[in-house]
Chains A and B, each alone.
Chain A
């Protein structure tokens, strides 16, 4: 099946795609149905693999014509599969907050990949703050539709939290973008990203001199 993607592709994926050099080797962690990877193959001449745990999504990813490896990254290390510097980019969209140890996974991503692109929902978004402050309850929004007890998002963080982790780990932020649910960027988000940005996109790499 061939996806004629530009029309169907979400703005988040379009933005990621524009950050990736054509012809790159790419690994997409939590690749879902393979939409992004299939687009990168067709539109950007990239090659590589998707990784996914959900068997039904693995089937869809195969249908979408990508190489997909079924794997549980909470049980296995990326280094069980790949050597250092195997990829130009290791991408993880909206999955950092669901893994057991985001900090360790980030390290592995930047070991097997020269760069990474990570996206996640910003817990510092003003609506979340307002809900917690005024109702005294954990936020439930369009981006975070779960209850506190059944949410897969076990490691929520804000932009600031993420950047502080990067600093601590010697990770350099190459590029950053913030978008809302419609994946648009407004002037307000540029000025006050931690308050007004709903979804964060980061391009990161190891600081030179390390590794």
Chain B
């Protein structure tokens, strides 16, 4: 696979001054969306791909910022000669509303008070994100996306796009997603939220006004999340029961897996400076996601509206959003005689597999994107 990169990239900002009335009923009077683009929009503006991000992702999908060593989160799959080939496509990454990487969110200043929004930031849901992403589409002068693509919570946004704006996308690529969360999924999210909200530094969500961040709670939430993205098999292979030192019969870090999880949590809370209120919001968006709800809770009915052709991809060891959940999406499309292809990729990497290199996954993804490219003349 290509190891080329889109190279140095810079984010841009769209200011939307039209108020957004959210599903919850609250209104966001105006907002910023930060985004990045790679590749060139062709003359008939037909080669644009929107990439939707997952829980902790953002608009920085590929390439490098000046001085950074680490590339964007989907560098393995987006770039010259890669499945989402920036030599052929104009690729757009956007940070979702409520995020903490530049788009308006809980850490932004509330114009009404002059203080950070904090816990007062309206709860945003997946359909609200699609409305705001559609503003970006209009701003970029794109009549129809060649494809909307995403993994996990990103894949759920793709599904919502196809249902809410059926004529605005030709193709939908839904990876490692589910049509709605299970009770177990919601339970994991609730434990993560409780970890954050019970941190003494949380201050009811007004921690920024107190000049602190709920680091421990956020790290715990991330540890739990991370755990659910890996498979039992892989953790066994990676860490087993390996010790850092000899057994000390104490509550210090003794097993390698403990050390690894603590490191992941710590990094997320301090180095990446992920905003705790954003984490709460994103998990809520996941919990609320149910595109079938307005259609008598019948996914097949919701899918009747769809015009896009679908590529659905799942991973064998993903227990967070298992292949069976992807098959529910496939079945609802088949019920409506829609164009859909489905691949269940053999992988031991659990839910994280959608981010990692894998020859069969690359083969499927590339083959499908090539089809998209030739259809739109890219």
Q: Which residues of A contact B (CB under 8 A)?
A: 1, 25, 47, 49, 55-56, 58-63, 65, 67-71, 80-83, 86
Contact = CB atoms under 8 A, between A and B. Distances in A.
Contacts of A25: 337
Given A55-B346, A62-B371, A63-B370, A69 B340 contact: yes
Interface of B: 309, 311, 327, 330-331, 334-335, 337, 339-346, 360, 363-364, 367-368, 370-371, 374
> Of A25, A60, A69, A83, which is in contact with the most chain B CB atoms at under 10 Å from its CB?
A69
B144 to A, nearest CB: 20
Contacts of A49: 334, 340
B353 to A, nearest CB: 14
A68 B309 CA distance: 12
Residue of B327, B341, B344, B370 with most chain A CB atoms under a 10 A cut-off: B341
18 contacts: A1-B374, A47-B337, A55-B346, A58-B364, A59-B364, A60-B367, A62-B311, A62-B341, A63-B367, A65-B371, A67-B340, A68-B341, A69-B341, A69-B342, A70-B343, A80-B327, A82-B334, A86-B334
Nearest to B311: A62
B360 to A, nearest CB: 5
A47 B346 CA distance: 29
A83 B331 CA distance: 10
A81 B331 contact: yes
A129 to B, nearest CB: 41
A45 B312 CA distance: 25
Contacts, number: 56
Contacts of B342: 68-71
Contacts of B311: 62
A62 B363 CA distance: 10
A194 to B, nearest CB: 38
Nearest to B342: A69
Nearest to B361: A55
A81 B332 CA distance: 9
Contacts of B340: 49, 67, 69
Given A62-B364, A82-B334, A55 B339 contact: no
Given A55-B346, A58-B343, A69-B340, A83 B360 contact: no
Contacts of B343: 55, 58, 70
Contact of B341 (A55, A67, A83): A67
